[in-house]
């Protein structure tokens, strides 16, 4: 009896979720791709673009390969290009110092040299310090890009939302809610 009730309940649950022939847990209407939003008339495309952005894990991954990625996403091109130049210079110096050390100096590793700086010769010391500095700038520019880029994006989004929502409330205009005329009742949607 309990098993029968369990399977009946499971069947009812799936029946309420199914709106198509496929099993569809997160229901998405076919017309969502061209569901046009009600926008303020004065909004520019740049503002719309910034509002529709969101900071995700894949942006952190992309930012590792493309310096300044998050700042370009937030439409902050100056800092983006500055990060690009800084990262590229540091990569270039690191590569140059690495090649120079392999050609001219001993075969000891970079991390060994870092730990034993006092016992090194002057050339080797400068070499390791420059390489360490280049690595530090690369890492710090990446972190700056993510943290500061996210901050800039959120600040711009908040400013745009504040502006248009306050203007709408000051104009005493009625803005209807998108879902105000829909009621869900088990497997049905009632429109009124």
Partner 1 sequence: MKPEIKYLQIINNQNNKFIINDNIRNAEICADSLFYRIDTYNNDVSSFFLLLSESYYLLKKYDLALFTLLQQRILFYSDSINIYSKKLLNQCLNKTNKKLPASFSILEKSLDTILFVNSAQKVDFLFSITFFINSKNTKHKLLNLITFYEKYFNQNVSFGMAKWKLLNTAGINLKTQTKYLLINDFNNPLSDYDNQDLLYNLPIKLKNKILNHNT
Interface residue list for partner 1 (CB under 8 A):
42, 44, 155-156, 159-160, 162-163, 166-168, 170-171
32 vs 42 by CB, closer to partner 1: 42
For the bound state, the minimum distance from the C-beta of residue 76 to partner 1, rounded and expressed in Å, comes to: 13
For the bound state, the minimum distance from the C-beta of residue 167 to partner 1, rounded and expressed in Å, comes to: 5
119 vs 171 by CB, closer to partner 1: 171
For the bound state, the minimum distance from the C-beta of residue 140 to partner 1, rounded and expressed in Å, comes to: 25
Report the length, in residues, of the chain.
192
Q: Which two tokens stand for residue 123?
A: 């050339």
For the bound state, the minimum distance from the C-beta of residue 50 to partner 1, rounded and expressed in Å, comes to: 11
Contact call for residues 127 and 97 (beta carbons, < 8 A): yes
The b-or-e profile of 19-44 (16+ CB within 10 A means b, else e) is eeeeeeeeeeeeeeeeeeeeeeeeee
CB atoms within 10 A of CB 86: 17
Which residues, in sequence order, are CB contacts of 124 under 8 Å at separation 6+?
Answer: 101, 105, 106, 113
102 vs 155 by CB, closer to partner 1: 155
5 vs 170 by CB, closer to partner 1: 170
Closest CA to 149 of 73, 53, 48, 37: 73
């Amino acid at each position: 009896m309990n098993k029968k009730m369990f399977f009946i309940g499971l069947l009812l649950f799936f029946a309420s979720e199914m709106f198509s022939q496929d099993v569809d847990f997160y229901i998405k209407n076919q017309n969502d791709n061209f569901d046009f939003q009600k926008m303020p008339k004065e909004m520019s495309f740049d503002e719309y673009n910034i509002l529709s952005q969101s900071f995700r894990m894949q942006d952190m991954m992309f930012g590792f390969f493309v310096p300044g990625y998050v700042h370009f996403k937030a439409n902050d091109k100056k800092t983006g290009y500055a990060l690009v130049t800084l990262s590229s210079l540091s990569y270039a110096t690191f590569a140059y110092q690495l090649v120079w050390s392999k050609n001219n100096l001993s075969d000891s590793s970079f991390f060994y040299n870092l730990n034993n700086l006092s016992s090194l010769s002057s050339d080797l010391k400068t070499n390791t310090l420059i390489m360490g500095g280049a690595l530090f700038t690369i890492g710090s520019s990446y972190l700056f890009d993510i943290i500061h880029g996210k901050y800039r994006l959120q600040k711009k989004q908040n400013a745009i939302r504040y502006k248009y929502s306050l203007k709408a409330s000051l104009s005493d205009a009625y803005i209807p809610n998108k879902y105000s005329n829909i009621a869900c009742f088990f497997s049905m949607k009632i429109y009124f």
